[in-house]
Amino acid sequence: MTIEAADKASILSEALPYIRRFAGKTLVIKYGGNAMTDEKLKEDFARDVVMLKLVGMNPVVVHGGGPQINQLLERVGKQGEFIQGMRVTDAETMDVVEMVLGGLVNKEIVSLINKHGGKAVGLTGKDGHFIRAKKLYLSSADDEPIDIGQVGEIEAIDPSLVSLLDTRDFIPVIAPIGVGPDGEAYNINADLVAGRLAETLGAEKLILMTNTPGVLDKEGQLLTKLTAQRVDELFADGTIHGGMLPKIASALEAAKSGVGAVHIIDGRVPHALLLEIMTAAGVGTMILAA
């Protein structure tokens, strides 16, 4: 099907109210490792981010890279292991995490955004010590804390570095690595970094891009809206599991802490970001505080 000129014009014109609404506002975009599989989609993502910046919004990218870490681990003969959606991270795994997140994945996104005319700057939480973290212990049914190695929970995020980049027209691209009091690195789930950063920056929107149409119910149907109460039910009956656990926890926390709108969207849909921000078409699941 070809789109007629009039339809094209109408689609473009539909963007105007959204451009006005979000101009000068911060949008935190979490780009999940599972949404990064296709070269064309990666290019589309980079173009969308550049476009948001050029029309006056402040996109801040936080990326994951779970599958990419798994691939490199396999090459060194290790198997990725997750508990409650968090990677068990021994010292050797942490080296791989830093190489993949702080290096390969971060630089690829930075290069793609710059290729399309943006000015992206890659950061980890070690830069300017802006994501301070401490060791995370998971809770268990018998109240015994579970030690999963060098995994961090966020103590504080200093927003000044990101704000400085925003005001100078740079696009921050952030890898989810935190730094402890002695300069030690911590592996942090990217959804948690994105959620906390959105809160700290007072973002207008938090968008979590992943590889499902959104949050699905037990029958596999898309839930377009999700309240805290429904989340509790879906946690309890196991409908939400694995990587969706930290994602929803972070989304809910951000929604409760005043982030304007929180969405989980399908990063496999071409230009999902533009569709979500600049059109009336709802894509994915919106997370509501109450």
Ligand X SMILES: Nc1ncnc2c1ncn2[C@@H]1O[C@H](COP(=O)(O)OP(=O)(O)O)[C@@H](O)[C@H]1O
Ligand Y SMILES: CC(=O)N[C@@H](CCC(=O)OP(=O)(O)O)C(=O)O
Residue 240: name its binding partner from ligand Y, ligand X, none (Cβ under 5 to 8 Å by kind). ligand X
Q: Tell me the longest C-alpha to C-alpha distance in the chain.
A: 63
Q: Rule CB under 6 A: is residue 243 a binding residue for ligand X? A: yes
Closest CA to 30 of 170, 165, 159, 197: 197
Query: β-strand 146-157 against 131-138: which pairing, if any?
Result: antiparallel
Residue 172: name its binding partner from ligand X, ligand Y, none (Cβ under 5 to 8 Å by kind). none
- Of residues 216, 228, 261, 269, which one binds ligand X by CB under 6 A? 216
CA distance 132 to 138: 18
Residue 289: name its binding partner from ligand X, ligand Y, none (Cβ under 5 to 8 Å by kind). none
- Contact criterion met (CB below 8 Å) for 80 and 100: no
Write the CB contacts of 17 (distance below 8 Å, at least 6 apart in sequence).
none
Closer residue to ligand X, CB minimum distance, 58 or 189? 189
Q: Strands (DSSP E) along 116-145, which ranges?
A: 120-124, 131-138
Closest CA to 105 of 191, 209, 35, 205: 35
How near is the Cβ of 279 to ligand Y at its closest, in Å?
Answer: 25
- Of residues 28, 53, 58, 66, which one binds ligand X by CB under 6 A? 66
Closest CA to 30 of 51, 67, 61, 59: 61
- Of residues 34, 68, 124, 200, which one binds ligand X by CB under 6 A? 34
Residue 118: name its binding partner from ligand Y, ligand X, none (Cβ under 5 to 8 Å by kind). none
Q: Rule CB under 6 A: is residue 125 a binding residue for ligand X? A: no
Q: Rule CB under 6 A: is residue 64 a binding residue for ligand X? A: yes
Question: Cα separations (Å) of 45 from 27, 37, 113, 200, 217?
Answer: 14, 12, 8, 24, 27
How near is the Cβ of 250 to ligand X at its closest, in Å?
Answer: 10
- Of residues 27, 28, 29, 32, which one binds ligand X by CB under 6 A? 32
Give the side-chain half-sphere CA count within 13 A for 237: 9
Residues that bind ligand Y (CB under 6 A): 32-34, 64-66, 69, 86-87, 97, 151, 176, 187-190, 243
Number of residues that bind ligand X (CB under 6 A): 19
- Contact criterion met (CB below 8 Å) for 87 and 66: yes
Residues in 166-205 that interact with ligand X by CB under 6 A: 191
Residue 241: name its binding partner from ligand X, ligand Y, none (Cβ under 5 to 8 Å by kind). ligand X
Residue 69: name its binding partner from ligand X, ligand Y, none (Cβ under 5 to 8 Å by kind). ligand Y
CA distance 28 to 179: 21
Residue numbers belonging to the annotated binding site: 65-66, 87, 187
Residue numbers belonging to the annotated binding site for substrate: 65-66, 87, 187
Interacting residue ranges for ligand X, rule: CB under 6 A: 32-35, 64, 66, 191, 210-212, 215-216, 239-244, 247
